[in-house]
């Protein structure tokens, strides 16, 4: 079964807007687990505009499901991850001023750098996923580098889904088949939602994990977090 990891960055954004601890990020993460989420994802950025490095340290000993930390492997991030030792780290090539993730790694051009980072994290027993566009050569290189998984950047799929679902999914089906041929795991994330997730999963049922934040938290404003998680899980079962 494909696992659902809830990205809680947006909850931290709301908290930070007023200071203090409302909403309580740790309680929210634990509630997500209680309501059925099989993982919690955070993406701490250098400016700590949403999830803070201190949040990551506070969450780690309290979570019972898989903990996934996303980010650009700058020295400060590498130090955080190797100290916290989550189940998984997802390497994302974010610029410091990026509003959100907007591209996958060029694993060919950055092969030497990524290989060293992957080796370092794996020495600490951390599963490593590399965020990539649905381009076969990028996936093959990620496997050669030694990554355990790739995470497909699904923004293009989500953007074109309404106009033509079959056309939108085709590059991702091909990419997913390449990942399977290479013998590495497969994650997916970015702009997946209740509108497009079930179709994505139907066409690529061997996805190991989807990481969803913005759409899921937005849906929770109307449905409540418990019902929202249940609906997302249903998309991954049907």
pLDDT per position as a tens digit, 31-46: 999 999 999 999 999 8
Catalytic pick among 33, 66, 70, 209: 70
Residue span of the structural domain in which 94 resides: 3-235
pLDDT tier, 94 (very low <50, low <70, confident <90, very high otherwise): confident
Told to judge if 124 belongs to the known catalytic residues of this protein, a careful annotator would answer: no
For helices 214-223 and 225-235, give the axis angle rounded to 10 degrees. Answer: 130
User: Residues 151-199: pLDDT tens digits?
Assistant: 999 999 999 999 999 999 999 999 999 999 999 999 999 999 999 999 9
Number of domains observed in the structure of the chain? 1
Q: What is the mean pLDDT of residues 141-148?
A: 98
Helix (H) or strand (E) holding 76: helix 75-84
pLDDT of residue 129 exceeding 70: yes
> Residue 100: which CATH number?
3.20.20.70
- CA torsion sign for 32, 37, 39, 41 is negative
Query: Which pLDDT belongs to residue 30?
Result: 98
Catalytic pick among 33, 66, 190, 201: 190
Told to judge if 58 belongs to the known catalytic residues of this protein, a careful annotator would answer: no
User: Residues 22-78: pLDDT tens digits?
Assistant: 999 999 999 999 999 999 999 999 899 999 999 999 999 999 999 999 999 999 999
Please tell me what DSSP assigns to residue 38: S
The model's pTM is 0.95
Q: Which of 2, 51, 62 is nearest to 25 (CA)?
A: 51
Query: Which pLDDT belongs to residue 50?
Result: 95
Spatial contact of 90 and 69, defined as CB atoms under 8 Å apart? yes
Catalytic pick among 33, 43, 151, 209: 43
The residues pairing with 121 across neighbouring beta strands, listed in sequence order, are none
Told to judge if 201 belongs to the known catalytic residues of this protein, a careful annotator would answer: no
pLDDT of residue 98 exceeding 70: no
The residues pairing with 151 across neighbouring beta strands, listed in sequence order, are 131, 187
pLDDT tier, 103 (very low <50, low <70, confident <90, very high otherwise): confident
Query: Which pLDDT belongs to residue 112?
Result: 97
Phi, psi of 223 (to 5 degrees): -100, -20
Q: Which of 53, 82, 63 is nearest to 5 (CA)?
A: 63
Distances (CA, A) of 14 to 145, 187, 231: 38, 27, 23
pLDDT of residue 5 exceeding 60: yes
Q: What is the mean pLDDT of residues 88-93?
A: 97
Q: What is the mean pLDDT of residues 118-138?
A: 98
Please tell me what DSSP assigns to residue 8: -
Rounded Cα distance between 131 and 163, Å, is 25
If you average pLDDT over every residue of the chain, what do you get? 96
Helix (H) or strand (E) holding 153: strand 149-153
């Amino acid at each position: 079964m494909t696992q659902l990891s809830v990205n809680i960055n947006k909850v931290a954004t709301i908290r930070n807007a007023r200071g203090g601890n409302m909403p309580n990020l740790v309680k929210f993460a634990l509630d997500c687990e209680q309501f059925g989420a099989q993982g919690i994802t955070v993406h701490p950025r250098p400016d700590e505009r949403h999830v803070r490095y201190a949040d990551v340290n506070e969450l780690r000993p309290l979570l019972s499901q898989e903990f996934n930390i996303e980010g650009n492997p700058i020295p400060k991030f590498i130090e955080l991850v190797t100290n916290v030792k989550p189940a998984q780290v997802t390497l994302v090539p974010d610029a410091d001023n990026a509003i959100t993730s907007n591209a996958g790694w060029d694993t060919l051009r950055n092969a030497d750098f990524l290989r060293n980072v992957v080796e370092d994290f794996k020495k600490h027993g951390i599963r490593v996923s590399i965020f990539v566009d649905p381009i076969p050569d990028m996936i093959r290189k990620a496997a050669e580098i030694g990554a355990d998984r790739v995470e497909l950047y699904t923004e293009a799929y989500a953007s074109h889904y309404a106009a033509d679902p079959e056309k939108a999914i085709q590059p991702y089906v091909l990419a997913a088949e390449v990942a399977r041929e290479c013998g590495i795991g497969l994650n997916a994330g970015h702009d997946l939602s209740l509108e497009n997730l079930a179709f994505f999963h139907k066409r690529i049922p061997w996805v190991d994990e989807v990481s969803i934040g913005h759409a899921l938290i937005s849906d929770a404003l109307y449905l409540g977090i418990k019902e929202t998680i249940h609906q997302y899980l249903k998309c991954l079962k049907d």
